[in-house]
Amino acid sequence: MTPAEARTILAEADLLHSEQESALAVRRVAAEITARLADANPLLLAVMGGAVVFTGQLLPQLAFPLDFDYLHVTRYGDVTVGGRLNWLVEPRLPVAGRTVLVLDDILDEGVTMAAIVQRLRELGAHEVLSAVFAEKDLGRAKPVAADFVGLRLPNRYVFGYGMDVKGAWRNLPAVYAVKGM
């Protein structure tokens, strides 16, 4: 996508949640995580690359000891429809016997998160929880539920705050929906 095409998508997009609403959602999730995990010494795993913005805003608000690592698994690549699950990087730190909190940008269909949870359990995690910046309302059951959710979104193609549209606009501090999608 060219910069001009990306700018056109943003100019025509619908604002769903402002920068302030997004920041408040992360603050609330941080408080919920702290209440649940402050004494657990959890391992937090960010799902690359969508969770970068959420993780970067969330971590400084968690005032308790934790370990941090990342993993990289995707179903999308540069397309807008999920496909075959592709593991690029598994966690480097051991998960066996640990309470693990997976951080991701969005719980859409739930297929990727369900596979991550299953893999972490196979690796021996004591408990696997998930926190997502946003969850999309699809109007149907998902294979996994997030334990901590920042924002609820309609079933539209969304971008911003770590979520991209054809590779662009992960860096926006607010959440938008593509016009007509």
* pLDDT for 180 beyond 80: no
Alpha carbon distance 74, 18 (integer Å): 27
Range of the domain at 34: 3-177
Count: domains in the chain: 1
pTM for the whole structure = 0.91
Cβ contact 130:138 at 8 Å: no
- Domain with 18 in it: what CATH number? 3.40.50.2020
pLDDT of residue 83: 57
pLDDT of residue 79: 46
Half-sphere exposure of 10 (CA within 13 A, CB side): 18
| pLDDT 10s digits, 159-176 | 999 999 999 999 999 999
Q: Which residues contact 116 (CB under 8 A, 6 or more apart)?
A: 47, 71, 73, 102, 130
Q: Find the mean pLDDT for residues 84-99.
A: 89
| pLDDT 10s digits, 123-146 | 999 999 999 999 999 989 999 999
Residue 105: pLDDT band with limits 50, 70, 90 = very high
